[in-house]
Amino acid sequence: MDKAPDAFRTISEVADDLDIPQHVLRFWETRFPQIKPMKRSGGRRYYRPDDVDLLKGIRRLLYGEGYTIRGVQRILKEHGVKSVQALVDGSAALPAFGAARGDTMEVAAEAGAGEAIVEAGDDEDEAAEDVSPAVRTAPPATSAGDRASAHARKLDRARLEAALQDLVACRQLLDGVMKEG
C-alpha cells in the first residue's frame, strides 16, 4: 500500500524513490545543511515531503544537469531551497541560475581557447570544478557586471572545448595503440 503524499518517508523509501544508495543521502546531509530529516531515537531518519522534494531537486542538478556539489551549494545559497524544490518535475525547465561562480575572471592571454585563465583569488583547479551547464542558459548580458559574466562564460566554454579536443586526441591515440596491439 502506498503512503499518503504528505506522509513521512524512511531513508530506504527515499533512496528507492530517488534510485540512489542510502549512504549517498547521508553524505548529502553533510554537504547540504538544508537537508534536515527528522531523527528519532536511535538515529532513524524520517523525511518530510519538502525534504524529499529538495533531495529530488539536488539529484536533478547533480546527476541530470551535471552540477558539482559546490555548484549546487552555491545555487541553494543564492536562490534558496524553494528554487531547487521547484525542479522536482523533470519536465520543468531549469531556471537560469547563471554561472555557478560569481568571481570576475581575467585572461592571461586571449589568443586561443587553450590559454591559461587566472582566477581572482582562486586557483585554476577550483575554478574548473564550478563550471556548470547553466552557462548555456544564462540571459543575455546587459550591464557591465553582466558583460563580465558573459565574458567569463565564453572563457569557460573555450576551456571546455579545448579540454574536449584534448580528450578526443587522447582517444584517437588509444584507439591506434589498441589496433596495433
pLDDT, tens only, 117-154: 333 333 334 444 444 444 444 444 455 555 666 666 77
Residue 108 and residue 86 in one domain: no
Residue 109 and residue 86 in one domain: no
**What does residue 95 show for φ and ψ, rounded to 5 degrees?**
-60, 155
Cα separation of 27 and 23, whole Å?
6
Residue 16 and residue 44 in one domain: yes
Domain boundary among 90, 116, 137: 90
Strand partners, 117: 107
Give which of 99, 98, 35, 89 is closest to 64, Cα–Cα: 89
* CATH code of 23's domain: 1.10.1660.10
In a domain, 15, yes or no: yes
- Helix segments in 4-123, DSSP class H: 11-18, 22-31, 49-59, 69-79, 81-85
Residue 114 and residue 75 in one domain: no
Residue 82 and residue 146 in one domain: no
For residue 137, what are the domain limits?
Answer: 104-181
Residue 81 and residue 23 in one domain: yes
Domain count, the chain: 2
In a domain, 95, yes or no: no
- pTM confidence score: 0.54
pLDDT computed for residue 98 by the predictor: 57
Residues 6+ apart with CB under 8 A from 38: 8, 45, 46, 47, 48
Give which of 88, 38, 81 is closest to 59, Cα–Cα: 88
Confidence of residue 37 (pLDDT cuts 50, 70, 90): very high
- What 3-state class would DSSP assign to 170? helix
Residue 81 and residue 160 in one domain: no
Query: All 3 cell numbers of residue 74?
Result: 552555491
Q: Does 116 score more than 50 pLDDT? A: no
In a domain, 96, yes or no: no
**Average pLDDT of 55-65?**
91
In a domain, 130, yes or no: yes
